[in-house]
Amino acid sequence: MIENSKGWYIAIAMLICCLAAGQSYAGAFANAPALKFRVSMETSEPAKMVVETVGSGSQDETVRSKAYKVNKKKQIQALEAVKRRVVQSDFMRLVDAPAGDKGPAGSNIDYSLKTWCEESTLDRSGKTHSRFTIHIIVESPDGLGGLNAGAEADTPEDAAANIVNQVGNWLAMRTWRCRVWDSAQGFVLINRGADDGFSEGMILNGIRMNAEFKQINPSPDLELAIAKYGQASGQYRIVDVGESVSKLKPANGAPMLSKGDILELPGARKKKWNQKTRASGAWDEIYK
């Protein structure tokens, strides 16, 4: 009996340690700064097609569905609903994209949201019911694409809430990066500021890019470019924050960065955005 009791005590102690570890891990991630990606919105026209399907439902019911292009009024209503949701997002900042200017690997825009809408009617047992679908393609300035999402609901507002939530979850798992805008008087300058989620004291990791990379136009996918042309250079602390501009100082002997180098938020979460686990926190630690 005594030996069994000792076994239970050890098991309970181990569980408490796992719980503490899980809480500290979750807490650390929860307290990590959430920087916003700069996104632009583009409107795309849906394909001009009419699709009608007829099939047998339960018993002898006939189910008919018909997809068609939405009218301009509802199109505008849907786009405005998406914009309102994007503005409220913790991971996106809506900005205007300069006409015809994608910049060096997205100097001003991190992603573009190409949006279009469709409306469908369902005729079931003589009753007509409308459904609204919003589509978004999330593309990076290098043209390599990102996320292709769609959300259906009874109203444009509900569809907008659903799809912006999908995009936000996807962006939450991306590594936040930006280009160094310039350097002057011992400061590294970036065109990101308080509106993008920055605050004084934050630490970013620096990556020095060689001259060959800085001459490439258009710039390639950053993930591949960093592996080929980049070299980790240390940490950089934000010492001054404006609305859309911040100043950083090299920390712990890191070298000065120059225009075209890269800064990124450390501790990016690598878990797949749509991956489900057995539980959260400590239980993931136990079963991993």
The one-digit pLDDT tens for each residue of the chain (288 residues) are: 545 555 555 555 554 554 444 443 333 334 455 789 999 988 876 544 444 444 555 444 444 445 455 667 778 888 899 999 999 998 999 988 765 554 444 457 888 898 888 877 666 565 667 778 899 999 887 666 688 899 988 888 999 999 999 999 998 888 898 889 999 999 999 999 999 999 999 999 999 999 888 777 556 677 888 888 899 999 999 999 999 899 999 999 999 999 989 999 886 554 444 444 443 444 344 433
CA dist list (Å): 38 to 67, 97, 113, 237: 33, 10, 10, 21
Shared domain for 67 and 152, answered yes or no, is yes
Distance CA 98, CA 78 (A): 23
Q: Residue 78 has which token pair?
A: 């849907």
Domain boundary (127, 153, 172) is at 172
Shared domain for 136 and 191, answered yes or no, is no
Q: 236 lies in a domain?
A: yes
pLDDT for 53 equals: 46
Q: Find residue 116's DSSP bridge partners.
A: 135
Domain boundary (172, 195, 216) is at 172
Shared domain for 161 and 78, answered yes or no, is yes
pLDDT for 8 equals: 56
Shared domain for 156 and 210, answered yes or no, is no
Distance CA 85, CA 266 (A): 27
Q: Residue 170 has which token pair?
A: 């996807």
Shared domain for 115 and 184, answered yes or no, is no
- Residue 76 makes CB contacts below 8 A (sequence gap 6+) with none
Residue 83 CA, chain-centre distance (Å), reads: 15
- Residue 28 makes CB contacts below 8 A (sequence gap 6+) with none
For residue 43, give its domain range: 37-172
pLDDT for 216 equals: 72
* Number of structural domains the chain divides into: 2
pLDDT for 163 equals: 95
Residue 218 is given by DSSP the state S
Shared domain for 72 and 163, answered yes or no, is yes
Residue 243 is given by DSSP the state S
